[in-house]
Amino acid sequence: MGLALTGRRTRRSNLLPAYLSLTPVTSLSMLLGTHSLVAFKQLELFWVERSYYFIALAIQFRYK
C-alpha cells in the first residue's frame, strides 16, 4: 500500500490515472500491432518534421 499526498492510505492502483495503466500482451498479434503503431507514429513524426523543414526553406528562398 502506498501513501497519498493527503496522508491517507490508498491502494497503489488508485495513485495512477486509468490511462497510464498497463495492459498485458496476451498474443503475438497484439505485440505486432503495437510495433506497427509505434513505427507508423515514428514515420508520421519524421514526415511532419521534414515538411516543416521544406516549408522553412521555401520561405527562406522566397525572401532572399
What are the extents of the domains in the chain?
25-64
What band does 1 get if pLDDT is binned at 50, 70 and 90?
A: very low
Report which of 24, 4, 26 is spatially closest to residue 15, judged by C-alpha positions. Answer: 4
Residue 3, classed as helix, strand or coil, is: strand
Tell me the sheet residues that pair with 2.
Answer: 10
Q: What is the pLDDT of residue 46?
A: 65
> Tens of pLDDT along 32-49?
556 666 666 666 666 666
> Which residues, other chains included, contact 4 with Cβ-Cβ below 8 Å and sequence gap of 6+?
10, 14, 15
